[in-house]
Structure 1
């Protein structure tokens, strides 16, 4: 294993300088840099204590960022779980989120396929699969594929 040139805490601060990270991400990145498990645990505990590392703040920021892509709630929740965010934190973040998932699904459909509502079964199935892949649920997809009610 390579001996790291910086202390664990210095590496952690360097990593956090670019963007927020989850606790799991931070531990993984520090481990890759060659730091010992014990020093990683101490650094993470210190960062949590001074609120430099905060999974809830990370989840809120990540959700906003991914919703702006736009990606749907199901995909974002799955990505947050992979990043080590607990289910209760994810639930709280989504309850407090001001994202309109229905409008985001419609906006994505219109950007990719145009505003015209298709009657063709194959084209509709293609649009449905695309929106599902992006993480939208069936209610969001149904809304996105219906004609505008303006």
Structure 2
């Protein structure tokens, strides 16, 4: 007997949380009809199995635990199909010091003390490398600069 879209959705949600857009995409790629997928998602929402707010919070916490900055987390949430308004709402409710988060991330990656060298060019290359790392992680210029100053580089 063929599995229904609802059963497939519940199976996917039992493994991990999904955003609505992500779950819709997965179900459609499995060959389910659009109407059947829409009905399945509606049922999942009614039963509380599918909740974009909960999913957004989970993704936000995971990003923070991974040492990501606000820009990287926002980009990840957008890619998962979370609405900009919901992302902004989540960030407004968030009580986190992104400058301190950048410092902790840099310290975890590079250690607490910087080895001073007489070669200024080598020192500048190292600072640029660390700065790029923090920007890749999603921290802005000011946050990255603060973190590196705290590590005395």
Query: TM-score, normalization: structure 2?
Result: 0.87
Match of residue 40 from structure 1: 37
Match of residue 138 from structure 1: 141
Give the structure with higher Rg (CA): 2
**1:64 CA displacement:** 0.2
Query: Hey, what's the Cα distance between the residues in 2 that align with 1:94 and 1:109?
Result: 22
Asked whether the 8 Å contact 1:23–1:53 carries over to 2, the reply is yes
1:146 is paired with a residue of what secondary structure? helix
Q: Aligned-pair RMSD on alpha carbons?
A: 1.9
Matches within 5 A, 1:62-101: 62-101=59-98
1:17-42 CA deviation, whole Å, 9 max, x = no partner? 12211001100111122211110011
Q: Where does the alignment leave 5 or more consecutive residues of structure 1 unmatched?
A: none
1:70-92 CA deviation, whole Å, 9 max, x = no partner? 11110110111111111110011
Aligned positions, number: 146
Stretches (4+) displaced over 3 A: none
CA gap 1:134/1:148 in 2 versus in 1, 3 angstroms:
closer
Match of residue 22 from structure 1: 19
